[in-house]
């Protein structure tokens, strides 16, 4: 049994009497009904094993915070930072793609040459 007066059974933790800390205990139960588990130490019944529930400890004398009181809606800041970033981005980009302005092979500019299969660099301009 653990130093915290708990025992583990079937992947669950149960709380037992603190007088049994450090002693070998036996759990007796009905395999068809695990709602009641009895704790025995040296053949003597020592009480039930209570399911251990982990919860937040709060002293009853400490006042607890209630839900936040509804107040006036918060006002957005006077500067639209996202709008400023968007405007700078739109200025820096060229705008929408005009597919009609892209030269077709044979018209206007020559298409890019195929890459050299041997990986040698050439003096030609790279597209």
Q: Where are the domains of the chain?
A: 6-51
Whole-structure pTM over 0.75, yes or no?
Answer: no
- Residues 45-61 have a mean pLDDT of 84
**Is the model's pLDDT at 60 over the cut of 60?**
yes
- Residues 28-47 have a mean pLDDT of 89
- Strand order from edge to edge, sheet including 33-41: 26-30, 33-41, 44-48
**Is the model's pLDDT at 85 over the cut of 80?**
yes
Residues 89 and 81 sit within 8 Å (Cβ to Cβ): no
The CA distance from 3 to 71, in Å, is 49
CA 100 to each of CA 66, 97, 109: distance values in angstroms, whole numbers, following the listed order: 64, 9, 14
Q: What is the bridge-based pairing of β-strands 12-15 and 26-30?
A: unpaired
């Amino acid at each position: 049994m653990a130093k915290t007066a708990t025992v583990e059974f079937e992947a669950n933790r149960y709380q037992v009497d603190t007088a049994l800390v450090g002693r070998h205990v036996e759990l007796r139960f009905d395999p068809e009904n695990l709602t009641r588990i009895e704790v025995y130490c040296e053949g003597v019944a020592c009480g039930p094993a209570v399911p251990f529930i982990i919860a937040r400890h709060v002293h009853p004398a400490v006042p607890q915070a209630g839900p936040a009181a509804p107040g006036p809606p918060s006002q957005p800041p006077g500067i639209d930072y996202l709008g400023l970033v968007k405007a700078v981005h739109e200025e820096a980009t060229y705008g929408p793609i005009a597919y009609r302005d892209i030269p077709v092979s044979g018209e206007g500019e020559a298409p890019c040459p195929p890459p050299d299969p041997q990986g040698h660099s050439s003096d030609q301009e790279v597209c």
